[in-house]
Amino acid sequence: MHRGNSLPGLHATHDAVVGRGGTRRSLTGHWTTPDTREFSRRSPTTRVVEDNYLNLHYRQTCYTLFNMKFIIGNLSALLFAAPSSKYSFQNERLQNAAQLYDEGQELTNKGEFKEACDVYMQGIFLGRKIVQGLLEDNQDQDTGDDTDDAELALDWVVSSYVACSKARIELGDWNTARSDAWAACTYSNNKNLEALNCMVAVCENTNDLMGQLQTLKLIYQLISSSSSDVNVVTTGLSREQLSVEDVQYRISNIETQLEQKYSKA
């Protein structure tokens, strides 16, 4: 029978928390005062069993944490692994050059354009002579394994120059961006739209109306032969959908500007 406002179990709880002699114990079972008389009353067998249980619980916790760390580490490696290269070569120099292209792409994606340019150019200097040898089918060239696809190697060198030109455009390095775009156009025989549009971007930002006009005419020749619109790079690294009519309008506009410019002269 309980008195007053006391709740059932209150005295039992109090007795469990406050030991005999006034010693106190927290709900976790640890004594909170130096008085350990109650603690010392545990039998040796009880102490061994409890210690073994605690040690086992500790080892299981460590094992679980280790497994979680291992799983999270592997998951991170899968999520953030660099994409595999689209270029595969037998020649060792071309392999290294393709790897440098991938590293340059990663730097570009991080916005580290200057560092990316350095890496792109390292790859270009390493592999472009091999590409020239494959294209010329010159047996005197040290091209290594002749099983490499010349067209794939050509695509790599064009892509490298284009990527480097784009990065230089982002940096505002117009003169070097022009050189890289020109190299990409030359290797691709003016058949790569991205290379041509890098040149257009350079001409636009250097007030080179004549160069812009000539390049737009090359673009017009490429996309006019297609039955559908073609995705091309128009400003730096962004993409827009251009139609034949769009290119024709730009060509006409520049021709008008040039006519007005030279008629006044």
The mean pLDDT value of the chain amounts to 74
For the four alpha carbons of 157, 162, 166 and 172, in that order, the dihedral sign comes to positive
Provide mean pLDDT across the span 26-51: 48
Judge residue 72's burial from the number of C-beta atoms within 10 Å of its C-beta, 0-12 exposed, 13-18 middle, 19 or more buried. Answer: exposed
The predicted structure's pLDDT at residue 36:
42
Would you list the domain boundaries of the chain? 10-79, 85-189, 202-265
The predicted structure's pLDDT at residue 253:
95
- Residues of the chain with pLDDT > 90: what percent? 48
Residue 134: pLDDT over 70:
yes
Question: pLDDT tens-digit profile of 97-118?
Answer: 999 999 999 999 999 999 999 9
Question: pLDDT tens-digit profile of 228-260?
Answer: 444 444 433 334 456 788 999 999 999 999 998
CA 33/CA 19 separation, integer angstroms: 11
Residue 128: pLDDT over 50:
yes
CA 165/CA 143 separation, integer angstroms: 26
Structure tokens at 124: 């270009």
On whether the pTM is more than 0.75, the answer is no
**In what helix (H) or strand (E) does residue 63 lie, and over which residues does it extend?**
helix 44-79
